[in-house]
Chains A and B, each alone.
Chain A
C-alpha cells in the first residue's frame, strides 16, 4: 500500500473517531427529545423517530432554569471583567517596570497557582460567612478573581512587546499609566481575549465552591442547578438530558461562532 493510501485511510479513521467522540453529546440531545417509552426501549431507539418537547418544557417551567443561566452569566462576566482589570496593571508592574525583588515577588504569586480553589473551600466558607456574602454573586466570583492565571498570562505577553516602544513614549513625557493604556494595551488584544475566554470558561464551569457558597435555588449557577435536577429526578433521564442539553446549547453556539479564537486562546493560556 502506498503512502497516499495510508494517509487517506488515516484521515477516514480520524473522522470516524471524531464522530464517535461527539456521540455522547448527540445521545444527550437525542434523549432530551425522545418520548419516555422510547428512552427506556429495548432494543434502544438509536435515532429519535418521534420528537417531543415534554422534558424541555418540564425543565423550563418547573425550575428557575432561565434564572440559573442568568446567574451563570452574571458570575462568569463579573469574574472575567474584574480579574482582567486587576491583572493588567499587576502584569505591567511585573514586566515593564524595573524594581528590586520583582522576580522574587512574581515567583511567589506564580507558585500560588498550585493552590486550587478547592483546597480553600472551608476557610472561604468561614470568610464569606463573616462577610455576609454566602448566597450572593460576589461570594462566588470574588475568590476566582484572586487566581494568578491572568497576571501570569499577560506578563508573558507584555514581555514580548519591544521595550523601545516604552522608551520612546517616556521620552515624549508619558507616565507609566499612559504607557500601559496607550502603548501596551492596544497591542495586547490576543492576550486579553485569551484571558477572557479562559476566565469565562473557568467560572462558567466552577462547581465545588459554588455548590458550597450557594444554597438558595434561585441563586444557583447552571452546574449547581443541574445537580439539583439530578437530586429531584434521579433516573428520569429525559428531564436530566433536557436540562443538560439546554445548558450545552450556549456552549455550542459560542463555539461555532468563536471556534478559532477559543482554540487559539487556549494555546495562549498553555503556560509553555
Chain B
C-alpha cells in the first residue's frame, strides 16, 4: 500500500489502482498502528479519568463499600461549605500573586540576560537563574520553610540585622500565601526566562536596528517593540503557568500544610484532605471537576485577552 505523495494532492488514489476498497482499509489499518499506542494511554489515563471523575463525583462513596447515586449533591455540599470557598479564594489569591510574579520575573531576567548576550559570563548568570527549576518541589518547600523559619530563618535574621521588622511570614495568615507564591516564583521563573529569551532571540536584528534609528531605547524599546512581539510566547506562558497555579499543592503542603489555621489551604490540598483523610471520594472528585473548569475558563479568557488566533 502507498500513502499519497505530497500534501495538497486529491484525497483519492489514482483510478488505476487495483482495489481501492482494500487499499483504503489497509491504509486505515496502518494509520491505526501509528496512533494506537499513544491513543491507548491517552484514553485510559487522560481522557477516560476526566469522564470517570465526573461520574465518581455524582455518587456517595461510603468507606465501608456502599455506593449511592446522589446526583449533584456533592457539588451542592461544596457550594455550602465555607471551607471550600476559602480554599477557592486562597487558590485565586495564590494564582494572582504567583502567575504575574513568575511571568514578570521570567521576563525581567530574560531581558537582563538578553541585554548581555554578547558577554561570555552571561552563560553562567543564566544557568544560576535557571537552576532552581531543576529542584524537586519538596526541596523547594523545605528550603524556603527553613529560610522563613520564625526563630532561625536566614531571611528573617538578615532582614532584622538590616534594621527591618519583617512579619513571621509563614505563621501569619496574611503573609503565608504571598511567601509561598514568592518561593514558587523563585523556583519557576528561570524556566520562563529561558523561553522568553529564546523568543527574544527569534526577533530579527533589523527590528532592533530600525528601533534604534527611530530613537527607541531602554524601556521604550521594551514596551513598544519587544513586548508586542513576545505576545504569542506570553500567551502559552500564561496558560501553562496558570494551570500550575491552580493545582499548586506540594510547596503549600510542605511550607505551611495549609496553615496557619486554613489561611493557605488551596483547592488541591482541600481535594487531598477530603479524598484521602476524610474519605469523601465523591466530594473530592467534584473538586477535581471544579479545578478543571477553572482551568478551561482561564484558557478561554487568556485567548480572548491576548487575541490569539482571532482577528487581533
**Chain B: which residue is nearest A108 at the CB level?**
B47
Interface set, chain A 1-39, CB cutoff 8 A to B:
7, 10-11, 14-15, 17-19, 21-22, 24-25, 27-28, 31, 39
Residues of B within 8 A of A120 (CB): 45-46, 49-50, 53, 288
Does B186 belong to the interface (CB within 8 Å)? yes
Task: Check B52 against A121 for contact (C-beta < 8 Å).
Answer: no
Least Cβ–Cβ distance between B157 and chain A, in angstroms: 5
User: With an 8 A cutoff between CB atoms, is B165 at the interface?
Assistant: no
- With both chains docked as a complex, state the minimum distance between the C-beta of A117 and any C-beta of chain B, in angstroms: 8
Task: Give the docked Cα–Cα distance between A198 and B67 (Å).
Answer: 40
- Which of B124-132, B171-179, B204-212, B220-228 is the interface stretch? B124-132
- What 0/1 pattern do residues 86 to 118 of A give for CB contact below 8 A with B? 110110110001111000000001001011101
In the complex, residue of chain B having the shortest beta-carbon distance to the beta carbon of A227: B138
Majority secondary structure, B binding face: helix
In the bound complex, how far is the Cα of B41 from the Cα of A146, in angstroms?
A: 5
Given A90-B38, A207-B138, is A118 in contact with B125 using a C-beta cutoff of 8 Å?
A: no
Annotate B236-269 by CB proximity to A: 1 below 8 A, 0 otherwise.
1001100110110110011000000000000010
In the bound complex, what is the Cα–Cα distance between A63 and B254 (angstroms)?
A: 19
Chain A residues near B11: list those with CB within 8 A. 98, 100
Number of B interface residues in the complex (CB < 8 A): 102
C-alpha spacing A10/B154, complex, angstroms: 27
Q: In the complex, are the beta carbons of A114 and B295 less than 8 A apart?
A: yes
B38/A205 in contact, CB under 8 A: no
- Residue-wise, chain A 176-200 has the 8 Å CB interface mask toward B (1 for contact) of 1000000000000000000000000
Evaluate whether A118 and B268 lie within 8 angstroms (CB atoms) in the complex, with A44-B154, A207-B136, A270-B236 already known: yes
Asked if B144 CB lies within 8 Å of chain A CBs, one says: yes
Size range of the chain A interface in the assembly = 35 or more
Q: Are B45 and A146 in contact, with the CB atoms below 8 A? A: yes
A11-B121, A116-B243 known, 13 other contacts, Cβ within 8 Å = A10-B116, A22-B128, A40-B151, A43-B161, A93-B34, A115-B292, A143-B46, A176-B34, A205-B136, A226-B138, A266-B191, A267-B195, A270-B233
Contact with A along B192-208 (1 / 0, CB 8 A): 00110111001000000
Does B115 make an interface contact (CB < 8 A)? yes
Check if A124 sits within 8 Å of B30, measured CB to CB.
no
Which one of B125, B128, B136, B142 has the highest number of Cβ atoms from chain A below 10 Å of its Cβ? Answer: B136
Residues in A lying within 8 Å of B, measured CB to CB? 7, 10-11, 14-15, 17-19, 21-22, 24-25, 27-28, 31, 39-40, 42-44, 85-87, 89-90, 92-93, 97-100, 109, 112, 114-116, 118-127, 142-143, 145-148, 151, 163, 166-167, 170-171, 175-176, 201, 204-205, 207-208, 211-212, 222-224, 226-227, 230, 235, 237, 240-241, 243-244, 247-248, 251-252, 254-255, 259, 262-263, 266-267, 270-272
**What is the CA–CA distance of A145 and B37 in the complex, to the nearest angstrom?**
10
